[in-house]
Structure 1
């Protein structure tokens, strides 16, 4: 039994419905150790027969049997293995890959063997030495002569230790001297016990072999044995394997590096979009954090401010004038209650319901509530010290909603003490030495009504324990606080009611604030709502919703540039597929599968995506430092805060874009017919 057998091979090409037969019943046997020349004129079917033997052409009738096993030409994976394990190709046009060095070209089939990396390089070096190109290993194909290129192609064909070498017009582009050298090398290959099949139209080349098969008009008209085949020894051969994924990534990187400047422009374009997304996200983080800090400085974040729930009264229909005035009064009251709920203050009014001891106890029994405090507010309080006077627009007792963050000097008020605002009070009482007021006693008085409804003046003294200072944004809140005991004692002395129209509950943890707020708002008696509760968390949440919306809009604008970048990658990948069509054919002929080709182009796109994300991260971090430095004069706060999550998100976006945009070009590359790809210019 011969090593390679062809039986009744028929092959036709079609133009529309018209059939053009090329091979018309070929029967051939080939043995190891032979150097067979398939001789014939152009168009006689030589190359078609070569493609069938090499497992590239699947559309034919007949059978090919290798070492007693019939090839299944409908099984593409089996044919990939056959080419990878058994076949080595040598082409007239050399078909070297231009962006790889001589060494890398020879290493391509070795990557699909079980040899270690070190042994692969050692074998490649030995093969180059055998063909006389050891000192040319690190050159690129365009730096070699025609004869040198063909010898590289021979070294590559031998790399995986195949049993069959197919040479398609291997001397067609060579001078006589190089032709002689190449034929000697091919004869030496046959002497090693391999089967060498050469396709040629040159009689002198055919005469160099051991056998000539003459092909004319799609049929064999002569089969001449020139000399005996070389003896075959049973020597161990290299074992093949599937191409490792790492090789695809390495090859993709080499191509990326070979076209570095073109690819760098694509990376830059993609990085601009990713940079914008990261910077705007960081800006959103910073602004949200700044707002959160400002509001938390204003009010204790674990405090929930509560007032008695009141329905909005409907306008009276008794007269249009009265209706208008009532509506205006209701609107003003609603605005006051809204402002009071933020700060924990309450505006005293005879129509405003107060809290009973039972209700205060009810609030204190709610899960996660650790304390309940009444809120008292005195308006238009006159302060005096050493004949200097100042007016406090709103003086409040120190309660759970107050925060020590605003006290810049001193401490929070204890019994008999008060903290005053720096700008509106302290500097009015002592312009140049206002810090020295700490520890001094001031007199305070304000007018209100007593329990009998008669006007009275509440007057008391308090020692200054601290001085507060708030930003302009926080000026709506009370920033003057007196101890609760001091204020209620003065109120009781003036026969003023100490029932509060507002109260504050303190929650154990900030994570429970929203739940407690919701629970209080749901409390009812006889199906009537009892309380209206608000927390600083709800205020922050609303503000951050607007910030997030603005950030998302900016990010969406940045996404437009990402779309443009994605289109750039798609166009580049399609151009790359077109430019590398022959390379795809070469890789398939050497045994790489469709999956390997897809992975090659996806890997190259992935490199672009990852490098774009990395570059975007670098310039975004530089931008973060720059912007924060520029805004330092406005506020001592980092308004751009790029988090690890932002960086990860950008890398994910970069990878997703690269994978999505590479899918169609990579799929097209993998579907190319190897024969058509090899014929591309």
Structure 2
């Protein structure tokens, strides 16, 4: 005997501490080549008995032996292999997976056993052809009739050529004509030497059987032999491989097919989740771009041996107007406003001039080896340089000083008398080979335009940068003489303190500050940009953190919904031999794909935004403000995947623990 039931009882614990005995001392044995109908009314215990025989419920008293081995003592691995290889299920409601094609539905048992795709597809096609569905293989279950669905379920049950087939009300959802056709197919399966156990309450169905076992109130009340089947050779005998476990790739494929079925919902979740990733990557990239710009700008103007000194800046007239400062402002607000006014005045060059006493005081600062007078101003385009009909606006006017080294002069040399340095951008605007040519500079000083023809001695390029602001450098003595020739007088508004040892620079700067002077314009600009960057980084970090939390919650909710929607599917997969680990792997794979999609979308959107922002900033300021590093993009995708997978653990674990019997009852 292939299957024996010995003194099997099944008791359920009910609410209130009571118990219900569904099966009472069942004894029976079955062999290959039998078509047995288990007949009984609803609640008689027939379905409970089939669940025990099928290994869907292992909690019972007594023994159920298959080929001499007690199913009740099977380990989880042995039970999985039993479902994969030895038993097949045909369900009343078909229980086909709606988003899979008929081929994939039939092949599911072999997919869970990690059988080669070519083998399982060929096997599925053969079985579908045997049940008359050769013209419908690529269709989905909702594209065929009820009778055809049951034929697919039969083909699926035969996929691994099991010895035992359990059919639970296989004709309960079919009309009479289709019922006869399905019963003939089931009868033919038994004739091939399979043991077929049919659960039914219909005597008409039982009439097709070779044996009828009647059960009532949890006990067998009769066991009658009917016309014996005429067995024939099993032409469908299939010697498959030893059952293996679902591969990671197969799990990902199943997850992808399910996501495709719910494409719109999953796409919206991925897009929603991508916002947090986009925020993180964009924040890092913006910070990198702005920081890089600030550092390159600072390195362009700063010589570690030189300290640039300015007088305390004078606030603009409008800014210093008492009417602009509310009398109720706090001391902190007033100090902040004053500092902003000072910084703005410094940036626009509205600083005081150095008197001789200031020069003497600074010359006497310890470790200062030399002092150099200078003049600098931001002209905001009012100063120009012209050459053969071409004109370029100058954003900055400055005088030569020791912070400008030979490495800053890419062409030509330092200017002599009536010579100037032009930055590369300005030189390119005027034309090629401008070095050595005479150009006309126009400088607005005290609302008077002063013009002079000078010689371009060289091209200036800031250290660490391929370009710089439109500027001109000339000698302080030349500027002083030019202003004097136009009946004006100029005083130095900047001095440069040089030390032979750069280790002394920090001390010199501290001393200068204590004497009431300020540092370079570039240092103030750097402080302003750095402060703005810190604020921007904090804001984007907060937004990103909130978005990532929302993303995790979204994925958690979606996967929980998916578990509810696919409860019956999970039950079918467990009946076909899916391990808990396999179920978890499928759901975690879905989370992985959602996380990967959201990460790719987030990074892709970041690149698009970066391109747009950089196009604007380059066109406007000739500066790249967003630098998306490959490490940022990779980190963004990785973070997205990890968050998604982390959010999936609870629903995936919940899905893996679903009871197959309860799952299959789910409507």
- Superposition map of 1:93-492 within 5 A: 93-113=93-113, 115-228=115-228, 230=231, 236-300=239-303, 303-305=304-306, 348-350=359-361, 353=364, 374-378=369-373, 399=402, 401-403=403-405, 411-413=412-414, 427-428=442-443, 437-438=454-455
How far residue 37 of structure 1 moved from its aligned partner, in angstroms, is 1.6
How far residue 469 of structure 1 moved from its aligned partner, in angstroms, is 9.9
- Superposition map of 1:68-79 within 5 A: 68-73=68-73, 75-79=75-79
How far residue 21 of structure 1 moved from its aligned partner, in angstroms, is 0.5
State how far apart, in whole Å, the 1-side matches of 2:52 and 2:294 are.
73
Does 2:664 correspond to 1:675?
no
State how far apart, in whole Å, the 2-side matches of 1:165 and 1:427 are.
99
Partner residue, 1:592: 578
- Superposition map of 1:639-678 within 5 A: 639-678=625-664
Deviates most, 55-64 or 70-79 = 70-79
- The 8 Å contact of residues 5 and 66 in structure 1, kept in 2 or not, is answered as yes
State how far apart, in whole Å, the 2-side matches of 1:60 and 1:622 are.
62
- Superposition map of 1:584-623 within 5 A: 584-623=570-609
State how far apart, in whole Å, the 2-side matches of 1:517 and 1:190 are.
99
- The 8 Å contact of residues 267 and 611 in structure 1, kept in 2 or not, is answered as yes
What secondary structure, in the 3-state scheme, does the structure 1 residue paired with 2:158 have? helix
State how far apart, in whole Å, the 2-side matches of 1:113 and 1:660 are.
27
How far residue 227 of structure 1 moved from its aligned partner, in angstroms, is 4.5
How far residue 191 of structure 1 moved from its aligned partner, in angstroms, is 2.3
What secondary structure, in the 3-state scheme, does the structure 1 residue paired with 2:621 have? coil
Change beyond 3 A, Cα 1:4–1:635? same
Change beyond 3 A, Cα 1:637–1:506? farther
State how far apart, in whole Å, the 2-side matches of 1:190 and 1:468 are.
91
How far residue 277 of structure 1 moved from its aligned partner, in angstroms, is 2.9
Partner residue, 2:43: 43
- The 8 Å contact of residues 33 and 232 in structure 1, kept in 2 or not, is answered as no
State how far apart, in whole Å, the 2-side matches of 1:348 and 1:625 are.
49
Change beyond 3 A, Cα 1:467–1:199? closer
- TM-superposition CA deviations, 1:523-542 (whole Å, max 9, x none): xxxxxxxxxx99x9999799
- The 8 Å contact of residues 10 and 26 in structure 1, kept in 2 or not, is answered as yes
How far residue 414 of structure 1 moved from its aligned partner, in angstroms, is 7.9
State how far apart, in whole Å, the 2-side matches of 1:506 and 1:91 are.
90
State how far apart, in whole Å, the 2-side matches of 1:465 and 1:419 are.
7
What secondary structure, in the 3-state scheme, does the structure 1 residue paired with 2:289 have? helix
How far residue 636 of structure 1 moved from its aligned partner, in angstroms, is 0.9
How far residue 167 of structure 1 moved from its aligned partner, in angstroms, is 0.4
State how far apart, in whole Å, the 2-side matches of 1:170 and 1:265 are.
40
- TM-superposition CA deviations, 1:475-496 (whole Å, max 9, x none): 9x9965689xxxxxxxxxxxxx
How far residue 10 of structure 1 moved from its aligned partner, in angstroms, is 0.9
Alpha-carbon RMSD = 4.3
What secondary structure, in the 3-state scheme, does the structure 2 residue paired with 1:149 have? helix
What secondary structure, in the 3-state scheme, does the structure 1 residue paired with 2:55 have? coil
- TM-superposition CA deviations, 1:496-523 (whole Å, max 9, x none): xxxx99545699xxxxxxxx799x98xx
The runs of 5 or more residues in structure 2 that have no matched partner are: 309-338, 347-353, 377-395, 427-439, 478-494, 508-518
The number of residues matched between the two structures is 557
- The 8 Å contact of residues 157 and 165 in structure 1, kept in 2 or not, is answered as yes
Does 2:20 correspond to 1:9?
no
How far residue 611 of structure 1 moved from its aligned partner, in angstroms, is 1.3
- The 8 Å contact of residues 419 and 482 in structure 1, kept in 2 or not, is answered as no
- The 8 Å contact of residues 601 and 662 in structure 1, kept in 2 or not, is answered as yes
- TM-superposition CA deviations, 1:366-393 (whole Å, max 9, x none): xxxxxxxx54313579xxxxxxxxxxx9
- TM-superposition CA deviations, 1:624-666 (whole Å, max 9, x none): 2222222334211222222212211220221122112222111
How far residue 668 of structure 1 moved from its aligned partner, in angstroms, is 1.3
Structure-2-length-normalised TM-score: 0.73
- The 8 Å contact of residues 421 and 480 in structure 1, kept in 2 or not, is answered as no
- The 8 Å contact of residues 168 and 200 in structure 1, kept in 2 or not, is answered as yes
State how far apart, in whole Å, the 2-side matches of 1:114 and 1:600 are.
14
What secondary structure, in the 3-state scheme, does the structure 1 residue paired with 2:220 have? strand
What secondary structure, in the 3-state scheme, does the structure 2 residue paired with 1:212 have? strand
Partner residue, 1:317: none
How far residue 114 of structure 1 moved from its aligned partner, in angstroms, is 5.6
Does 2:614 correspond to 1:628?
yes
What secondary structure, in the 3-state scheme, does the structure 2 residue paired with 1:159 have? coil
Deviates most, 237-246 or 191-200 = 237-246
What secondary structure, in the 3-state scheme, does the structure 2 residue paired with 1:609 have? helix
How far residue 152 of structure 1 moved from its aligned partner, in angstroms, is 0.5
State how far apart, in whole Å, the 1-side matches of 2:500 and 2:54 are.
85
- TM-superposition CA deviations, 1:380-423 (whole Å, max 9, x none): 79xxxxxxxxxxx9998754x43568769x64428989756899
- TM-superposition CA deviations, 1:125-170 (whole Å, max 9, x none): 1100000011111111112111111000000111122111110011
Change beyond 3 A, Cα 1:380–1:137? closer
How far residue 559 of structure 1 moved from its aligned partner, in angstroms, is 3.3
Change beyond 3 A, Cα 1:467–1:417? farther
How far residue 262 of structure 1 moved from its aligned partner, in angstroms, is 2.1
Change beyond 3 A, Cα 1:403–1:650? farther
- The 8 Å contact of residues 420 and 481 in structure 1, kept in 2 or not, is answered as no
- The 8 Å contact of residues 6 and 64 in structure 2, kept in 1 or not, is answered as yes
